[in-house]
Structure 1
Amino acid sequence: MKLTDIQIKAIKSTEKTIRLWDGEGLYLEIRPPCSKGWRFKYRFNGKEKRISLGAYPKVSLKEARKRLEEAKRVLADDKDPSAERQSRKRVKAFNAANTFEKVARQWWETQSPGWKDRHADDVLHNFEVDIFPFIGQRPIGDIDAPELLAVLQRVVDRGAVETARRELGNCRRVFGYALATGRANRNPGADLEGVLPPKPKTKHFAAFTKPEDVGRLVKLIDEYWGTFVVCSAFKLAPLFFVRPGELRSAKWAEIDFEAREWQYLSTKTNIDHIVPLANQAITILQALQRVTGHGIYLFPNARDKQRPMSSGSITAALRAIGITKEEHTWHGFRAMGRTILTEVCHYPPEVVELQLTHCVRDPMGRAYNRTTFLPERKKMMQSWADYLDKLKGEV
């Protein structure tokens, strides 16, 4: 006779363990004083076995019968329900210990000691912002190519194609690490080769590259009347021809007046770089130091001194002196310096490229370090500053 909920609820206590059978091996075991639990009694390979199907009332009579049917289906496949349950528990524990995020962080910890701090921070930041929120908690062995592509497509859709391509490369390395350590059976990142949009074409920034135009530009810069901080950055931009973000984020701790050098870590190439300081640059920096030298940045933000000036400051100054974006941009100072130093002043291209923090290799294929050609670069940077003064005087 089948059990009923009324019958089960009527039992309030018992002095000894009793069993109420529902049929087909399912029974409710009640232990003193009134602990109730579902059990399934079955035989497998000639041996009597039992497994728990849950505690009552959390597992109702209806749910217990449903779990009984599931166990019987396992038996019908000639499998032991108890062994299958243990196997599922092991898989669940394995998956919980080997989510994409956990494996990725392990991979990062093994690799990052050999990286520059900035690069290590960037890799982890990209994972935390673009990848972990979407597949971080997924078992790494369960992630397939379409799922990974959907995550990377979000990055592509916001216009960061190159970031998406870098993140795909790092995901491939994480899956490769998972393969090598027995946490995955395939690398879905490898299946996405050639799927993401191609690397964006290099954007060429408008720049003055004719001496007469450069002379007019530096004269206009010299006559510009903005805030003292912006004026100083504006005057140093053509002298240094560094990347905009590197100039506006320059720190006083990086300026060595005795060595006549600005030493910093390039944000683009992640390598240490030296900018020799010409006499003209020293004069500008010494005046600026009296105004902002007590803080962190050479060019602090007007609203928050703990942050550098905004990226639009020099651009706004260029527009204020009547230079359009089709004529010259802040980034255009780099093209201006490279073109005139090589084509007009006839400096060796490798010396100029090194000063631009571009990766230059010797005949053996080895990359030059930051001090390569430093005496030549110091001479070049002073000559460049003098040349700009000469052009300005000819306008």
Structure 2
Amino acid sequence: MPLTDTACKTAKPREDGKPLRLSDEKGMYLEVMPNGSKYWRLKYRFNAKEKRLALGVYPETTLKEARQKRDDARRRLANGEDPGEQRKLEKMLKQVATANKFEAIALEWHARESHEWSAAHSERVLSAMQTHIFPYIGDRPIHEIRPLELLEVLRKVESAGNIDTTKRLRQRCSAVFRLAILTGRCDSDPAAPLTDALKSQQSTPRKALMREDIPAFLDALEKYDGNLQTKLMMKLMLLTFTRVGEMAMARWEEIDFDKALWTIPPEHRKLPEKSKKTAPPHLVPLSKQSLEVLRQLHAISGGREHIFPNRNSPRRPMSPETLRRALHSMGFRGKADVHGFRSTASTILNEEGFNPDAIERQLSHIETNKVRAAYNRAEYMKERIEMMQWWSHFLKAQTKPN
């Protein structure tokens, strides 16, 4: 006798703990488990072998819906198909289709690459993809995406004025497509030909002091009446022309007063994350003037870990943004950039005939020529010591007389 909705609803588990099977018709039955869960099943034979097919869970799958699934399965049997095997095939194809969607492969690419990035960079990369790319093509099978479709997505970002972001997104999409090509999930990279179709950011060089600007700058710095620690940081930046991030993170344990040397650890250098584990520290010879500034600073923060501790959170370093604000208050907004100190020093030292390799080593620039980099590992320390002391004397000579 066929089942009714009432019989399905009121069915109770067996007292002996065994599943209860309530037959409907044509091989379908409702299986009531000891915990009260109810499942639709279809018993059928294929190639003389008895099999069972799950048709859903009651009451999510109603009696009527279960019978429709049963009838679909019986039609397949009539056509010589095993409905159980067909379901496995459909499930596998669905999994493959899901795995071949752009977002899935992008997440796979991100997982492969992110171990070489800092946590903050990894988060920024993923966030940009989630914001600008996944909502538009994340669900698309990667082999179906064409250049024009991707171009329309990227131009949404470009039209908002985010030129650099657009460029980076194109590069990252290209990396995702290359991974898909290598793993046999698509045949081409539709991001590759879009380079010329997108706008290029007009690079704005860092504002650097010219030789003739230095006296006025030093005079403004001397008159700066802000925080003394900030003023001394600015002086040390000009004397050593290191990167502002390296200066902000500097710790007292890195300074050797006896050897007049600052050893910047690789984790504070501007290097790819994967290179920081094996890169050497950057050595900065300290002139007499630099040492004098450091002694003044020692009287302020000598008991702290960082040379430039944050005033609000002393266990943290000072924010590099502090120097930018100081430059503005000195009247150099748009006229000078702290990073530009490096360009100023490099230009003048080259003009004065110092060894270009020693200058580049002092700037901690990475040699782009791999062959040259392999053979040219000299520190040029003797030349750099002389050069840094010359630079300090040069700056002192630019100071306006009182």
TM-score normalized by the length of structure 2: 0.74
1:388 is displaced (CA, Å) by: 0.8
1:320 aligns with 2:319: no
Distance 1:149 1:78 in 2: 47
Distance 1:350 1:360 in 2: 10
- 1:26–1:40 CA contact under 8 A, matched in 2: yes
Distance 1:364 1:55 in 2: 67
Match for residue 292 of structure 1?
301
Greater mean alpha carbon deviation, residues 195-204 or residues 275-284: 195-204
- Tell me: CA distance 1:172–1:45, structure 2 relative to 1, closer, same or farther (3 Å): farther
- 1:209–1:336 CA contact under 8 A, matched in 2: yes
- 1:7-86 maps to which residues of 2 (within 5 A)? 7-9=7-9, 20-22=23-25, 25=26, 27-29=28-30, 37-42=39-44, 44=46, 49-71=51-73, 74=76, 79-86=81-88
Q: Which amino acid aligns with 1:359?
A: I
Match for residue 123 of structure 2?
125
Q: Which amino acid aligns with 2:123?
A: H
- 1:212-227 maps to which residues of 2 (within 5 A)? 212-227=212-227
- Tell me: CA distance 1:392–1:157, structure 2 relative to 1, closer, same or farther (3 Å): same
1:44 is displaced (CA, Å) by: 4.8
RMSD: 4.4
Q: 1:372 aligns with which of 353, 370, 379?
A: 379
Match for residue 260 of structure 2?
260
- Tell me: CA distance 1:27–1:374, structure 2 relative to 1, closer, same or farther (3 Å): same
- 1:100–1:140 CA contact under 8 A, matched in 2: no
Distance 2:157 2:376 in 1: 34
- Tell me: CA distance 1:247–1:106, structure 2 relative to 1, closer, same or farther (3 Å): closer
1:373 is displaced (CA, Å) by: 2.0
- Tell me: CA distance 1:156–1:78, structure 2 relative to 1, closer, same or farther (3 Å): farther
- 1:141–1:185 CA contact under 8 A, matched in 2: no
Q: Which amino acid aligns with 2:112?
A: W
Greater mean alpha carbon deviation, residues 192-201 or residues 314-323: 192-201
- 1:95–1:139 CA contact under 8 A, matched in 2: no
Match for residue 112 of structure 2?
107
- 1:279–1:382 CA contact under 8 A, matched in 2: yes
Match for residue 235 of structure 1?
235
Q: Which amino acid aligns with 1:286?
A: R
- Tell me: CA distance 1:37–1:153, structure 2 relative to 1, closer, same or farther (3 Å): same
TM-score normalized by the length of structure 1: 0.75
Q: Which amino acid aligns with 1:243?
A: R
User: Deviation digits for residues 124-176 of structure 1, max 9, x if unmatched?
Assistant: 3345544479869x999955648988997898788765566556656655665
Q: Which amino acid aligns with 2:320?
A: S
SS in structure 2 at match of 1:392: coil
1:389 is displaced (CA, Å) by: 0.8
SS in structure 2 at match of 1:358: coil
- Tell me: CA distance 1:35–1:185, structure 2 relative to 1, closer, same or farther (3 Å): closer
Q: Which amino acid aligns with 2:292?
A: T
Q: 1:384 aligns with which of 367, 372, 391?
A: 391
Match for residue 346 of structure 2?
338
Distance 1:32 1:20 in 2: 14
The answer for unaligned runs of 5 or more in structure 2 is: 273-278
- 1:131–1:151 CA contact under 8 A, matched in 2: no
Match for residue 276 of structure 2?
none
1:285 is displaced (CA, Å) by: 0.4
- 2:39–2:58 CA contact under 8 A, matched in 1: yes
1:378 is displaced (CA, Å) by: 1.6
Distance 1:221 1:36 in 2: 81
1:390 is displaced (CA, Å) by: 1.0
1:203 is displaced (CA, Å) by: 1.9
Greater mean alpha carbon deviation, residues 7-16 or residues 300-309: 7-16
Greater mean alpha carbon deviation, residues 351-360 or residues 331-340: 351-360
User: Deviation digits for residues 102-137 of structure 1, max 9, x if unmatched?
Assistant: 73476248xx5xx5xxx454653345544479869x
1:338 is displaced (CA, Å) by: 1.8
- 2:256–2:262 CA contact under 8 A, matched in 1: yes
1:233 is displaced (CA, Å) by: 0.8
- Tell me: CA distance 1:61–1:333, structure 2 relative to 1, closer, same or farther (3 Å): same
Q: Which amino acid aligns with 2:65?
A: E
- 1:28–1:36 CA contact under 8 A, matched in 2: no
Match for residue 361 of structure 2?
354
SS in structure 2 at match of 1:40: strand
Q: Which amino acid aligns with 1:21?
A: D
% of aligned pairs identical?
31
The answer for unaligned runs of 5 or more in structure 1 is: none
Distance 1:29 1:36 in 2: 7
- Tell me: CA distance 1:392–1:32, structure 2 relative to 1, closer, same or farther (3 Å): closer
- Tell me: CA distance 1:153–1:304, structure 2 relative to 1, closer, same or farther (3 Å): farther
1:384 is displaced (CA, Å) by: 0.5
SS in structure 1 at match of 2:307: coil
